[in-house]
Structure 1
């Protein structure tokens, strides 16, 4: 007698559909709006929306209103939940297939991979991402951050939580303007703010553009910074294996 579908792990049932797998693949690299996914996958919007709804119901994908245009929503793949689901799937098939995650190591390269993080004020989200990527790679990645409308100084809660959690000291760092990045070469340009994504300038050498739709913690009070740092740290850890030495060559 064939096993019932109820015995199949939920992740397998969700990911096995070809269109849902393509959605997961695209969302694994960047947050996207529905119309962007329609263009990337070449499928009707109602079909894309239907499968996104199933992925959201399974807890793999989340959605959040854009801070640039509230009529839009950004969809985000929870890679941490996917990692746990994959591990559980292997264990369900056979105990010997339990996955033990191996901490990623920064790749060796003749030229360090260059990453630029951007947000509007360069006072919280992007300097947090800059500091965490530098922390996790021990300086093997050349990383900086900038903003379209930089504030006068870094947010004190950003400074405090990085110091308390990671021992990172940003007291002497000041926000930078995107204009100061003109002429510099980047392999990755990662926006953490819906507004700056719309105004971020083009850089030479065709860097890979990635978007992380993360709310500004400064608008939600001090407790929001803990969630923001956790979210960014998770995304940074999943970014590390993507920073391949092949893309970092001159």
Structure 2
């Protein structure tokens, strides 16, 4: 085991191999094609292939063929073994020696306390998908959650089709505004319990670490803003996005938070993203 840990740490010591691993970790449990990984990290296809091969051989990521494509995903068991090897074995399981954020590895995993949860939906522009999700959560189950949304882009504006669609469904849009993610990293920002990315671009970005280690999920879906065709066809795209987000949010809000620990809750969040995506 010690030799395996040393080998894996050696693989991850290379900055660009580490970047590939971190990207797949951010997108977990998604499988990404090699081409997307190369594009996101601005790597040549041949270079990305070498890095992916090294990570696969070390068992840090998995590879699966889908027709003509090779799909890659992070191997969570291997990632946990690396962390455990550094912070559990070395510290002999003593919580006073291990960093506080790794206390879950020592079995101190308690259910989520019964309270009002702060939920942040993140997209690239904060003009449509994340705004729609914020609105649905606030008005459908706002008694248990406080909803926020933000974008990774420096500046954006609300999409008029999104605002029109929300109004047509009876939602109050008076509180909506486009926000940058920086608002939620300041000293006065609310403590976020859940972070959901609703577009692949935002999920692929290497964002700052969130205080308090919120549970995170990726619920990526097509951008209705990019829909082509007539105004009627564009409006249909926004209604479809609304329906997809509504399904995810209703499934999420129905979870038994008081009976789920963080590990179980994370699995539920991941499953919601996969199951609802398959239904669309």
TM-score of the alignment, normalized to the shorter chain, above 0.5: yes
Q: Does 1:210 align with 2:220?
A: no
* RMSD over equivalenced CA pairs, Å: 3.6
1:187 counterpart residue number? 193
Count of residues in Structure 1 that have an aligned counterpart in Structure 2: 164
1:235 counterpart residue number? 248
Q: CA deviation at 1:140?
A: 2.3
Given that residues 116 and 189 in structure 1 are in contact (C-alpha distance below 8 angstroms), is that contact kept between their aligned partners in structure 2?
A: yes
Given that residues 114 and 257 in structure 2 are in contact (C-alpha distance below 8 angstroms), is that contact kept between their aligned partners in structure 1?
A: no
For 2:164 and 2:244, how far apart are their aligned partners in 1? 17
For 2:72 and 2:224, how far apart are their aligned partners in 1? 18
Gaps of 5+ in 2: 1-27, 38-54, 74-111, 228-233, 263-280
SS at match of 2:120: strand
**Structure with bigger RCO (C-alpha 8 Å, 6+ apart):** 1
Normalized against structure 2, the TM-score is what?
A: 0.50
Distance 1:43 1:193, change over 3 A: closer
Given that residues 155 and 180 in structure 2 are in contact (C-alpha distance below 8 angstroms), is that contact kept between their aligned partners in structure 1?
A: no
For 2:208 and 2:195, how far apart are their aligned partners in 1? 10
2:31 to 19, 30, 33: 33
2:120 counterpart residue number? 116
Q: Does 1:197 align with 2:219?
A: no
Distance 1:72 1:151, change over 3 A: farther
Normalized against structure 1, the TM-score is what?
A: 0.55
CA displacement, residues 146-170 of structure 1 (integer Å, 9 cap, x when unaligned):
00115443111111111212x1121
Given that residues 150 and 180 in structure 2 are in contact (C-alpha distance below 8 angstroms), is that contact kept between their aligned partners in structure 1?
A: yes
Gaps of 5+ in 1: 1-29, 54-70, 75-107
1:78 counterpart residue number? none
2:176 to 173, 176, 185: 173
Q: CA deviation at 1:173?
A: 1.9
CA displacement, residues 144-196 of structure 1 (integer Å, 9 cap, x when unaligned):
0100115443111111111212x112145210110000143111110001111
Distance 1:141 1:213, change over 3 A: same
